[in-house]
Amino acid sequence: MAVDAAGPETSAERTAAGRFRYGRDHPRYKWVALSNTTLGVLMATINSSIVIISLPAIFRGIGLDPLQQGNVSYLLWMLMGFLLVSAVFVVTFGRLGDMYGRVRIYNLGFVVFTVASVALGFDPLAGAGGALWLIGWRVVQGVGSAMLFANSTAILTDAFPTSQRGLALGINQVAALGGGFLGLIIGGVLSEWDWRAIFWVSIPIGLIGTIWSYKSLHELGTSRAGRLDWPGNITFAVGLSLLLAAITYGIQPYGAHATGWLNPWVDAGLLGGVVLLVAFAVIETRVSDPMFHMSLFRIRAFWAGNLAGLLASISRGGLQFMLIIWLQGIWLPLHGYDFESTPLWSAIYLVPLTLGFLVAGPASGALSDRFGARWFATGGLLLTAVSFVGLVLIPVDFPYWLFAVLIGLNGVGSGLFAAPNTAAIMSSVPADQRGVASGMRGTFFNSGTSLSIGVFFSLMIVGLAGTLPTALSSGLQAQGVDAGVAGQVAGLPPVSSLFAAFLGFNPVQQLLGPTGALDQVSSRQAATLTGGQFFPQLISDPFHSGLVIVFGAAAVMSVVAALASLARGKRYVHEDTVAA
């Protein structure tokens, strides 16, 4: 067909020419796709953890007392709202990406995320109203995160050839998991300045990413026409939401029990969630256009990689929470740091964890292109298991160099696992199902992080319940507090003390103040009770009892994940339909 000097003579041909010019065969396009999608998942995952370490500043900023009855729910949902929505909708947006264009859904995710970040940074309310505002917009932000997360790996799998896919997905996955570690550092630094800044930081990144993605990314993947699977979407969304919400409320006390696992509503949520998810699995085998392609689980590399990823995500999420409690609530105060400054210093002291991951992640992604994912992923999981055992064996008031070595090894292990595992999963599926496969992988990843909150906090509370009341009562009486008052304070649910430690908050003055106990002891004893070291010293031994249970469970999960990784077999790439 003849063309003039201005180029192709039709709009369709101009579009086709543009896509050829910047398409998969162009040497620069794949790097453009990698840099943009890496920015997207980095922004999303930084925001999944940036709030965790900034909660003390947020609670002070909106004027909310974390120890008042009912306020623990605000804390939990500020964390869980984002994670739950990200887990629930990531498969749906992956399926929509397969149907209507992965780049289109990905671009929209940037827009939604940026709008939510603006709203979060300008919270006009205080107290409970301010907390509800933040929770609501964190949910919206989670929707944008799900859009980005569901389609980024599919876009990369489309853009990169098999020989470079491990490197590309490795860098992207390093950004996804590294964002979780970097969020701790960024949140600690920014919250020292202004709690709103932890949300403001996403606004310029979101604006740049939105404009850049609309201008530079093109649809290269194979779209699959079809209808949205409404029965599957509804049963999955409601079932997973019920399950994760029940686990969240299972952390909180019920009646005379330290946790809520005997609460009828919690049990009903767990049972209802499991029943709906089983119904969802049945539905997906019978509808013509399922959102969750159960047939993919016939691919060994797919199901083994996702099982390993789920268990690794649970253990990694639990690690973050426990390390923050350990540093902010115990180790830093014992070493003379003010409670108000513990988020910043906690972030600084966690740098070896991030460095270990950032060093190992890209290298393992590149090497797995040559040697396959199996041994890198399996070895990384075993290394994380060893680091969990090491963290159990060191004292609560540890020498920092030993702590730094152990968390650095944990970061290296996570880095060795993450990139090869993701590349193996995505390379094992047909090209026209990469969007939904990416969403399914994202669901396991995000669900694992959500589950870690309920699982590990519950395990820690169980450990505290057996030792904390006695330690608290005897410690208070040793400082002259009346036995009746000491018993009353010691009888409070362990979750209150746990969240006080999590927020870097000294609860003794507030708990004893209304009782008049501080007026009945000497000034020296009162200064000791309300000082920065009394509560951390008191909770140290009970915390270690819980830590043995928590990190012991994490080590077991890591070993089981390693066995699943080993079961994936030799390298399998779907396009080649041969094992290599």
Q: How many CA atoms lie within 13 A of 237 on its CB side?
A: 15
Q: Are 99 and 162 contained in the same domain?
A: yes
Look up residue 355 and give its two tokens. 């460095």
Residue 335 sits in a domain of what CATH number? 1.20.1250.20
Which tens digit of pLDDT belongs to each residue from 189-204?
888 788 899 899 889 9
Q: What is the pLDDT of residue 89?
A: 83
4 is a domain residue: no
Averaged confidence pLDDT in the chain: 80
Q: Please say whether the beta carbons of 566 and 421 come within 8 A.
A: no
Q: Please say whether the beta carbons of 279 and 235 come within 8 A.
A: yes
Asked whether the predicted pLDDT for residue 478 surpasses 60, the reply is: yes
Higher-confidence position of 129 and 84: 129
Q: Are 420 and 442 contained in the same domain?
A: yes
Q: Are 383 and 484 contained in the same domain?
A: no
* CA separation for the pair 133, 78 (Å, rounded): 10
Which tens digit of pLDDT belongs to each residue from 250-292?
777 777 676 677 889 888 988 999 999 899 889 888 887 777 7
* Mean pLDDT, residues 114-129 taken together: 89
3 is a domain residue: no
pLDDT tier at 514 (50, 70, 90 boundaries)? low
Predicted TM-score of the model (pTM): 0.77
* CA separation for the pair 87, 103 (Å, rounded): 20
Q: Are 218 and 242 contained in the same domain?
A: no
- Give the rounded distance of the alpha carbon of 411 from its chain centre: 15
Instruction: Give the residue from 207, 184, 182, 97 showing the smallest Cα distance to 148.
Output: 97
Q: Are 219 and 237 contained in the same domain?
A: no
Asked whether the predicted pLDDT for residue 14 surpasses 60, the reply is: no
Which tens digit of pLDDT belongs to each residue from 378-433?
999 999 999 999 999 999 999 999 999 999 999 999 888 887 888 788 778 887 77
Sequence-ordered list of residues with C-beta below 8 angstroms from that of 453, at least 6 positions apart, any chain: 76, 79, 80, 83, 247, 248, 251, 317, 321
User: At which residue do the structure tokens 């159960």 appear?
Assistant: 294
Asked whether the predicted pLDDT for residue 95 surpasses 60, the reply is: yes
Residue 531 DSSP code? S
Which range is least confidently modeled, 50-64, 284-298, 488-502? Answer: 488-502
420 is a domain residue: yes
Q: What is the pLDDT of residue 15?
A: 41
Give the 3-state secondary structure of residue 259.
Answer: coil
* Helices (H), ranges, 122-229: 127-159, 162-193, 197-200, 202-216
Q: Are 204 and 314 contained in the same domain?
A: yes
Domain of 482? 465-543
Q: Are 368 and 427 contained in the same domain?
A: yes
Q: What is the pLDDT of residue 120?
A: 92
387 is a domain residue: yes
Q: Are 30 and 152 contained in the same domain?
A: yes
Count of domains observed in the chain: 3
Which range is least confidently modeled, 181-190, 328-337, 434-443? Answer: 434-443
278 is a domain residue: yes
Q: Please say whether the beta carbons of 92 and 143 come within 8 A.
A: no
Asked whether the predicted pLDDT for residue 539 surpasses 50, the reply is: yes
Asked whether the predicted pLDDT for residue 323 surpasses 60, the reply is: yes
298 is a domain residue: yes
Q: What is the pLDDT of residue 13?
A: 38
Q: How many CA atoms lie within 13 A of 347 on its CB side?
A: 23
